[in-house]
Amino acid sequence: MSKIIDALNTQINKEYYSAYLYLSMSAYFSSVGLPGFASWMRIQAKEEMTHAAKLYDYVLARGGKVVLKAVAEPPASWKKPLDVMKAGLEHEKKVTKCFNDMTDLAVKEKDHAAQIFLSWFVSEQVQEEQSFGDIVNALTLINGEGQGVLMLDRELGARTFTDETQTAAG
């Protein structure tokens, strides 16, 4: 199997892990009475599944073999909402590094199609880090407590799901 296909299969697994991690975070938020945060995370998990599907479809389109590996168990508890969002941001930074590394590999292998394909994810990661970062900043400003958390919860609860992999740019 080519190195790129191998790396893409590893990334499919990481996207499913991301979905699992965010579902676990969603369950945490539900358990502490923050339905808006829970809903936001549930949508985030759904988005990760679309990322996995986009990679899966590309592997098949290139005549590669899709290899699904075991998904690791995510953490299940956090001390406070700010810790959850910080962990999410750190996770997204790791995912960004994966796509940057894969792009480096595609350049090295002179795989132009893979470079163009991966550029969608490189751009998407800017948004992913920004959305987690914005919530980390908001929670930090309100010290992660009080009325501000409930207001933020209402705001996050308004998020709706859109499959960005199906838009023109996707």
Q: Which residues bind ligand FEO (CB under 6 A)?
A: 15, 18, 48, 51, 92, 95, 128
Q: Burial, 18: exposed, middle or buried (Cβ in 10 Å; 0-12, 13-18, 19+)?
A: buried
Q: Which residue is at the shortest CB distance from ligand FEO?
A: 51
Among residues 133 and 148, whose Cβ is nearest to ligand FEO? Answer: 133
Closest to ligand FEO by CB, 97 vs 112, is 97
Q: Which amino acid is at 112?
A: H
Are 59 and 66 spatial neighbours (Cβ–Cβ below 8 Å)? yes
Give min distance, CB of 106 to ligand FEO, in A. 18
Least CB distance to ligand FEO at residue 11 (A) = 9
Pull the structure tokens for residue 9. 């299969």
Q: How far apart are CA 80 and CA 131, in angstroms?
A: 19
CB of 45: closest distance to ligand FEO in angstroms?
10
Q: Find the shortest distance in angstroms from Cβ 14 to ligand FEO.
A: 8
Those residues whose C-beta lies under 8 Å from the C-beta of residue 97, and which sit 6 or more positions away, are none
Residue number with CB closer to ligand FEO (95 or 149): 95
Kindly report the number of other CB atoms within 10 A of residue 32's CB atom: 13
